[in-house]
Amino acid sequence: MSPRSLEPERFDAIIVGAGVGGLYAIHRLRTLGLKVRAFEAGAGVGGTWYWNRYPGCRCDVESLEYSYSFSNELQQEWLWPERYGTQPEILRYVNHVADRFDLRREIEFNTRVKEIVFDSKTNVWTVKTDKGKIATARYCIMATGNLSTPRRPNYSGLGRFKGNWYHTGQWPHEGVDFTGLSVGVIGTGSSGVQSIPIIAKQAKHLYVFQRTANFSLPARNAPMNPSKEMAHKAEYPERRRAAFDTPFGIAGYPPPQKSALEASEEERLRAYEAKWMEGGSISFLYSFNDLLLSKEANETASEFVRRKIRATVKHPQTADLLCPNDHPIGTKRLILDTDYYETYNRDNVTLVDIRNKPIREITPTGLSTADAEYQLDAIVFATGFDAMTGAMKEIDIHTDAGMSIQQKWEHGPRTYLGIMIAGFPNLFMITGPQSPGVKSQMILSCEQHVDWIADCLEYLRARGISGIEAEQDAEDAWVRHNNEVANRTLYPQANSWYVGANIPGKPRIFMPYVGGVTAYKKRCDEVAANGYQGFRLGTSIEEPRSAAQ
Ligand code: N01
């Protein structure tokens, strides 16, 4: 190998991750004429939709909304077969986007970024991968995803288990046939609730190990209605704009005006029933304007769903166990399902309460709880992710000033706008913590972040500025604002992955911004219009802002 080939490859921007956000970042930054490179751990594009191939995996945002808006031709031409996209369909769409915009040539697949180091003398990041590759770039764009670090409980004995085990977030590409098997599913979040009805149809017997009951609503999935699709597409430009005037980045749900407590019991039931029949989580939470603000108001909706569970599940003890009682509805991700509660009426399905009788260990032939032994041929961990901060913290991101992301976020994430982090110049995040990402239509938020970052890079280039860094004060104020906004709602009351409660030892901080997409985008736009207020700009980051202008 010549000495020359050992030199790092140089880029203007390095993008980590080729999911929905990373792909759009490649496209957008390339149109600025930047030389970009993306590193992707998977063998293909799609991120979440590449990894989560478990049976029943489907988006809980409607297909006509959950799609890119940056190309009108794309959004007009792509045909969605169902109201909610299945994982294979969404992955097909993302692959189509990668091909259509010729994005693959900038991506190194099967390559995991291990270390990212900033050199403050040159304002350049050096990126090292598990393939031994070293590349440098002025800018790093972390498109590493919010739910991309699968986690399973550390039960002893798994190594001795004779059957196969799986995590929903790392599902085998060839699929799994559970026919004739005794299967255990651990976890009843969105992934568990979506996969349980399908696995139940295959398995000889399915044991569902539930620690916490979650609220789930019927998705009411259906084949796409072609006239609805045509009408929606005719209004795409206005609808996409209107989405930014909504809290969750999804247009078409008129904001509720009335408190649940101002409505009569009869009026409330009518409203909830209509939403229950219509399907959709935002729509349900939009029944009244205070469901996420007032516990008393929320309880009327929570109890409505509990009654539905009791009316659906025939065995009263099982129904009771399935009724959530530890959090207000909507404060954990509200799940959409197809036949979830109905599945417990099958003779081959058993719900096991591991809240009161926890799993003790995995045995060679199954698992044991505090009071019983279960014989299992396969175990499915639907136990979620180290959400929002996991993927960033898995990479050794540090600066030559000695600051590392592990130290910086030791007590929880701290960011400015969820886009940048004080102490980490020229490092951007797409839908980072303290942005609305996971509390919004994710693709809309990815596009908004990428567009903001691209505009920022153009601004810097036009002024000959080579460095940008969030100011400490601006970051502190943004973190405070996030907490204030969250504390006005019921969200922090739930032991959800939003607060890191699913990961033992993770600091309890409410991580997403819940002030709504409208307020957030307005703030981002104002910051940019004011010359990137709250950011320090400089040819060298060490220079004060005035020296750069
Ligand atoms: O993960 P989760 P997920 N012992 O963290 C249980 C998105 N998503 O993969 O609640 C026993 O929600 C845990 O119990 P508890 C969506 O945003 C979207 O299902 O911590 N049980 C819980 O029941 C979603 O919210 C879609 O007590 C343990 C479950 O495992 C997010 O991804 C589809 C345990 C984990 O639930 C994550 O969903 C799928 C332990 N030690 C996912 N540890 C759609 O678009 C954890 N659990 C539809």
Structure tokens of 9? Answer: 């490859």
Please name the residue whose Cα sits nearest to atom 15 of ligand 1.
212
Percent of the chain residues topping a pLDDT of 70: 97
pLDDT (0 to 100) of residue 548: 35
Q: What is the mean pLDDT of residues 486-511?
A: 96
540 pLDDT band (50/70/90 cuts)? low
Residue among 441, 425, 451, 421 nearest 524 (CA): 451
Q: Which atom of ligand 1 is nearest to the CA of 381?
A: 30
Q: Model confidence over 440-474: pLDDT tens digits?
A: 999 999 999 999 999 999 999 999 999 999 999 99
Query: Each residue of 504-528: pLDDT tens digit?
Result: 999 999 999 999 999 999 999 999 9
**What pLDDT score does 255 carry?**
87
CATH architecture of the region 3-149+387-538: 3-Layer(bba) Sandwich (3.50)
Name the helix (H) or strand (E) containing 195: helix 190-202
User: What is the average pLDDT value for the chain, to the nearest integer?
Assistant: 96
Instruction: Average the pLDDT over 292-310 and give the result.
Output: 98
Q: Which protein residue has the closest C-alpha to ligand 1 atom 5?
A: 384
For residue 447, what are its two tokens?
Answer: 């596009």
pLDDT of residue 547: 34
The percent of residues above 90 in pLDDT, for the chain, comes to 96
**Tokens at 371, concatenated:** 């009071």
* 268 band by pLDDT with thresholds 50, 70 and 90: very high
Q: What mean pLDDT is predicted for residues 386-397?
A: 98
Q: What is the pLDDT of residue 543?
A: 45
Q: Which long-range contacts (CB under 8 A, 24 or more apart) does 364-368 make?
A: 364/157, 364/160, 364/161, 364/162, 365/162, 365/163, 366/161, 366/163, 366/182, 366/184, 367/155, 367/157, 367/184, 367/209
Backbone angles phi and psi of 266, in degrees to 5? -65, -40
Banded model confidence at residue 541, pLDDT cuts 50, 70, 90: low
The predicted-structure confidence for 185-238, as pLDDT tens digits, reads as follows 999 999 999 999 999 999 999 999 999 999 999 999 999 999 999 999 999 999
Q: What is the model's pLDDT at position 5?
A: 54
Which tokens in the block code for residue 402?
């000695």
β-bridge mates for residue 136, sequence order: 10, 126
User: Residue-wise over 422-433: b if at least 16 C-beta within 10 A, else e?
Assistant: bbbbbbbbbbbb
Of the candidates 384, 377, 316, 327, the one whose C-alpha atom is nearest the C-alpha of residue 351 is 316
Q: Which two tokens stand for residue 539?
A: 């040819």
Structure tokens at 427: 């490092």
Ligand 1 mean position, distance from CA 354 (Å): 15
**At residue 6, does pLDDT exceed 80?**
no
Residue 307 pLDDT exceeds 60:
yes
The mean per-residue pLDDT over the stretch 406-424 comes to: 98
Domain boundaries, the chain: 3-149+387-538, 158-228+243-381
Q: Which atom of ligand 1 is nearest to the CA of 354?
A: 11
For ligand 1, atom 3: residue with the closest CA: 384
- Segment 278-291 shows an average pLDDT of 96
| pLDDT range class, residue 545, cuts 50, 70, 90 | very low
Interval 341-389: pLDDT, tens:
999 999 999 999 999 999 999 999 999 999 999 999 999 999 999 999 9
**Candidates 326, 502, 506: which one to mutate for ligand 1, based on the most atoms within 8 Å of Cβ?**
502
The phi and psi torsions of 345 (rounded to 5 degrees) equal: -90, -5
Q: What is the structure's pLDDT at 254?
A: 85
Q: Which of 17, 8, 13, 44 is nearest to 30 (CA)?
A: 13
pLDDT tens by residue, 115-174: 999 999 999 999 999 999 999 999 999 999 999 999 999 999 999 999 999 999 999 999
Distance 463 CA to ligand 1 centre (A): 46
**Per-residue pLDDT tens digits for 331-354:** 999 999 999 999 999 999 999 999
Pocket probe for ligand 1: among 154, 383, 443, 495, the residue whose CB has the most ligand atoms within 8 Å is: 383
Among candidate residues 546, 525, 532, the one with its CA nearest the CA of residue 457: 532
Q: What is the dihedral of CA 104, 109, 113, 118, to 10 degrees?
A: -30
Q: Residue 255 Cα, ligand 1 centroid: separation in angstroms?
A: 28
Ligand 1 interacting residues, C-beta cut-off 6 A? 58-60, 147, 153, 168, 186-192, 194, 211-212, 333, 336, 354, 382-385, 497, 502
Q: What is the pLDDT of residue 253?
A: 87
Whole-number CA gyration radius for the chain:
24
Which pLDDT belongs to residue 107? 98
Number of CB atoms found within 10 A of residue 540's CB: 15
508 phi, psi to nearest 5 deg: -85, 100
Q: Give residue 55 CA to ligand 1 midpoint distance, Å.
A: 15
- CA distances to 13, 43, 146 from 20, in Å: 17, 15, 12
Per-residue model confidence (pLDDT) at position 226:
94
What average pLDDT does this structure show over 284-305? 98
Spatial CA neighbour of 439 closest among 382, 503, 381, 489: 489
Element (H, E) at 353: strand 349-353
